[in-house]
Amino acid sequence: MTDDDRTGPPRQRRTRRRDATLHGDHVAFWDSAPAEGAATDPDDELVLLIHGIAGSAHTWSPLLSEVARHRDRRRWVAPDLLGHGSSSAPWADYSLGGYATGLRDLLVSLGYERATIVGHSLGGGVAQQFAFQFPQHTARLVLIDSGGLGREVSPALRAATLPAAEWVLPVIAGTGVVRAARQIASAAGRLSRRVSPSTWESGRAFASLADPTHRRAFVHTARSVIDRGGQRVRATSRLDLAADLPLLVAWGTADSMIPLEHGLRAHELVPGSELALFEGAGHFPHCDQPQAFADRLLRFLDEHPPAALDPADFADRIAGHSDLR
C-alpha cells in the first residue's frame, strides 16, 4: 500500500453474497472488493478465507467489517466449504485434499492465479494442504488457531469421531435441544456481557448440526482428520517446504479447542515466520478481537510481497525430504 493509498479518501467496498457451481455442486461465498471495481483485475491481490469445521463464511463477518474500514485494495473471498453454511452437502470427498482442490478450482474460476490463503481451525489444515498441493497458487499463508499442528484437540471433537456419533448427534443436536440451548444462551447474553464471540461462534457451529446433511458432512469431515486419540493429520514435518512463503501464525491465548503450544511450535519450525498472539482471545481471535486482528493481518500483508514459488524448486525441497533406497 502506498502513502497515497493511506492518505487518500476512504475507499468504499462492496461485500455481497455470491453463488457458484463447481463440478455440479453449489458453492456459496462472500465477495468483498473495492466498489470502484479495481479488484476485478486478476493482477490485483486476492485473500481467500477458509472457516473451520461446522462453521461458515459468517465467522469472517467481523474481520470483513474491519477490512471495510481500512483503505485496502485487495479482494477478499470467504466461501462456505462443501457441507457447511449455504453450500451443497453432497456425498463427496471431505478430506483436507478434497477441500483444497475445490478451493483451487474456485480461485481459478474467479480468474486468479494465486491468493493469500487464510485458514482458521480445520480451515488452517486445509490452508496448509492447499500450500503443499498448489504452491504455485499460494502467495502467503496465514494460520489461525490451526489444526494439523499437533495431536491434542478438544474432547468434544474427538467424541464426534466415535462409532456411535451418527446416533448420538441427532439427539444432542436435535431442533428441540438446540432451541433450548439458544434460549439459555440468549438469556445469558442479556444477563452478562462476558459471553465471548468465540463462545457464540462455537454455539452457532453446534446449532448447524441440527440439519441432517450438515451433520453427515460434519462426521465425515471430522473422521478425516481426527480419531478418538486426537488429530490424526500432522503438517509439522512438512512446514519447512514452505520456507520461502510468507507465514503468519495467529492464536488466541485462551483457546480451549486447540492448544496454544501448537502455534508456538509451528512458528519455531519455520524460520522467518511471524507469530501474533491475542491475549485473552479464545478459539476465534478474529471474532473476539476483530480490530486488533485486522490491524495485525493487514500489516503482515503490507510488509510481505506475494511469493511466487517455483514448482521446480518445490520439487527439489520434496526430494530433500526423501530417502529412496
pTM for the model? 0.85
Q: Compute the distance between CA of residue 297 and CA of residue 294 in angstroms, rounded to an integer.
A: 5
Look up the CATH number of the domain holding residue 108: 3.40.50.1820
Note if 19 is an active site residue.
Answer: no
Note if 283 is an active site residue.
Answer: yes
- Evaluate whether residue 167 is within a structural domain: no
- Evaluate whether residue 170 is within a structural domain: no
- Is pLDDT of 256 > 80? yes
- Evaluate whether residue 163 is within a structural domain: no
Q: Compute the distance between CA of residue 49 and CA of residue 78 in angstroms, rounded to an integer.
A: 5
Note if 25 is an active site residue.
Answer: no
Q: Which domain holds residue 12?
A: 3-152+229-320
- Is pLDDT of 294 > 60? yes
Q: Give the number of domains in the chain.
A: 1
Q: What is the DSSP string of 22-70?
A: ETTEEEEEEEEEETTSGGGSTTS-EEEEE--TT--GGGGHHHHHHHHHS
- Evaluate whether residue 65 is within a structural domain: yes
- Evaluate whether residue 194 is within a structural domain: no
Among candidate residues 255, 262, 286, 288, the one labeled active-site is 255
- Evaluate whether residue 212 is within a structural domain: no
Among candidate residues 120, 137, 283, 286, the one labeled active-site is 283
Higher-confidence position of 90 and 207: 90
Q: Which pLDDT score is estimated for 8?
A: 39
Categorize the per-residue pLDDT at 37 as very low, low, confident or very high, splitting at 50, 70 and 90.
low
- Evaluate whether residue 113 is within a structural domain: yes
Pairing of strands 230-231, 226-227: antiparallel
- Evaluate whether residue 197 is within a structural domain: no
Among candidate residues 56, 88, 121, 273, the one labeled active-site is 121
Higher-confidence position of 193 and 200: 200
Name residue 236's amino acid: T
